Amino acid sequence: MIADQNRFQAAIRRFDEVNSEDPNVEVAAGITYPKEVLYAQRMTACLNRVAPDASEALQLAVRCQHIRRWAIPRQDFPMDVQGYNKWRNSLKKHHAEIAGQILQEVGYDPETIERVQFLVQKRQLKIDPEVQLLEDIICLVFLQYYFLDFARQHGEAKVIDIVQKTWRKMTPEGHQLALQLDLPAEAQALIGKALA
């Protein structure tokens, strides 16, 4: 339930305006999008399909989950596990701060802002049901739209490892939804190997 539809739409608009500054582009159905605008739209569409009654805070968190992601490039951190984790933690803080500023600008109360920031930073994963649902949505969007490109850039062993790690983050409901995705045969085969 959206408390104030105008305020909610203003926040979504601002998130999309900020993400439209993304210099990286992606083509979908013949249309060129700033990469993070398209990602945000895919996240919202997935949430609406999976949990149409999601809370306002979760709807906001889903839309801004990658906000201004390009501003903190992966290559600015060491190319090892510690570097990767540091990069991911920096991104979570970055996304939460920008989301908080925008939500404040459009008139959200401190409690809602704090909740959106909590969700975006994926605190208490496996404990908080909404954080877990956000993680399921992230994983489903990855598998549906980004997995095959990722798989083609990496060796099979790494791809299988990533699928297994992704699977561990998801709920049983998320697993069912993932297995129902209409994926190319190549992607299905890799997922099948990872889950065997």
pLDDT in the model for residue 1: 76
Long-range contacts of 148-157 (CB under 8 A, 24+ apart): 148/183, 148/184, 148/186, 148/187, 151/186, 151/187, 151/190, 156/190, 156/193
Are 16 and 35 in contact, with CB atoms under 8 Å apart?
no
Work out the angle at residue 62's Cα, subtended by the Cα atoms of residues 53 and 70, and round it to the nearest 5 degrees.
170
Q: Are residues 89 and 135 in the same domain?
A: no
State which residues form the domain around 155: 129-196
pLDDT in the model for residue 3: 81
Q: Are residues 108 and 196 in the same domain?
A: no
Please give the share of the chain, as a percent, with pLDDT higher than 90.
Answer: 85
pLDDT in the model for residue 99: 98
pLDDT in tens, 109-140: 999 999 999 999 999 988 999 999 999 999 99
Q: Are residues 149 and 91 in the same domain?
A: no
Give the closest residue to 151 by CA, choosing from 193, 196, 89: 193
What's the domain count of the chain?
2
Tell me what the mean pLDDT of segment 179-195 comes to: 91
Q: Are residues 21 and 88 in the same domain?
A: yes
pTM greater than 0.95 (yes/no): no
pLDDT in the model for residue 105: 97
Work out the angle at residue 166's Cα, subtended by the Cα atoms of residues 72 and 77, and round it to the nearest 5 degrees.
25
Q: Are residues 160 and 94 in the same domain?
A: no
Q: Are residues 96 and 65 in the same domain?
A: yes
Is residue 76 pLDDT above 90, yes or no?
yes
Q: Are residues 115 and 178 in the same domain?
A: no
Residue 17 CB neighbour total at 10 angstroms: 11
Is residue 178 pLDDT above 90, yes or no?
yes
pLDDT in the model for residue 177: 95
The pair of three-digit structure tokens given for residue 158, joined into one six-digit string:
């790494």
